[in-house]
Amino acid sequence: MNSTPRTIFLFGLISSISMIAFAISYFQLYLGLEPCPLCILQRIGMFSVTTVFLIATLHNPKRAGVIIYSVLGFLVALAGGGVSVRHLWLQNLPKDAIPECSPGYDYIVDNFPLIDAIPLLLNGSGECSETLWSLFGISIPGWTFVGFLFLGLLSLSQIWNKR
C-alpha cells in the first residue's frame, strides 16, 4: 500500500459514515422502513466500527497503535458481520420455521437486564425474517455484511502497511 495508515483509517471512517447515512436517510426516512432488532444491532456495530476508525484517524498512531486499532476494527467488524449473518439466516428460514414476533428493541432494552436482553435481541423475531428490499438479489443484511467484511479487511490490512 502506498497510503499511510491514517489515510486508510480516514477512508474507513468516511465509508462507514456513508453506510450509516445511507441506512438512515434512504431506508428509514425515504422508504419508511423501521429497523428491526437485528437491524439496530447492526447499526450499533457500524457505529462501533466508525468509532474505532475515528479514534485511529485522530490519534495517528505509531506502529504498535496501528496494529491495535487494526485488530480492534477487525474484531468489531467481525461481530457486526456475525449479526448480519444471523439476520440473513433468519431471512432464509422456511416459513414454518420463522420465530414468532417478539417485543421491539426498546421494550427489550428497557425491561430486561443486559445479560438477558442480548440473547433476546440476537434471536431475532418474525419481523427480522422479512426481506423488504434487495438489490441484485441481496437483501439489506447481505449488503451490510459486505460492508462489515470490507471494513474489517480494510482495518486488518493496516497490519502489513509499512508506512
Q: Assign residue 39 the CATH number of its domain.
A: 1.20.1550.10
Q: How far is CA 114 from CA 64, 78, 79, 117, 125, in A?
A: 33, 21, 17, 5, 18
Mark out the alpha helices in 92-134 (DSSP H runs): 105-111, 114-123
Count: domains in the chain? 1
Give the percent of the chain with pLDDT over 90. Answer: 54
- C-beta separation of 141 from 23 below 8 A: no
Does residue 1 carry a pLDDT above 60? no
pLDDT of 37 reads 82
- When mean pLDDT is compared over 16-20, 83-87, 92-96, the highest value belongs to 16-20
pLDDT of 19 reads 96
pLDDT of 101 reads 63
Instruction: State the DSSP code for 150.
Output: H
Listed residue (161, 163, 95) closest to 129, CA to CA: 95
- C-beta separation of 70 from 76 below 8 A: no
Residue of 117 and 55 predicted with greater confidence: 55
Task: Report residue 53 as a C-alpha cell.
Answer: 476508525
Helices then strands, each counted (H, E), the chain: 6, 2
State how far the Cα of 89 lies from the Cα of 117, in Å rounded to an integer.
Answer: 20
Question: How does pLDDT run across 95-148, given as a tens digit for each residue?
Answer: 776 666 666 667 777 888 878 777 776 666 666 777 787 889 999 999 999 999
Residue of 42 and 37 predicted with greater confidence: 42
pLDDT of 123 reads 67
State how far the Cα of 88 lies from the Cα of 71, in Å rounded to an integer.
Answer: 25
Domain span including residue 85:
5-160
Helix (H, G, I), strand (E, B) or coil at 124: coil
- Mean pLDDT, rounded, for 31-47: 89
pLDDT of 12 reads 96
| Amino acid symbol at 4 | T
State how far the Cα of 133 lies from the Cα of 156, in Å rounded to an integer.
Answer: 30
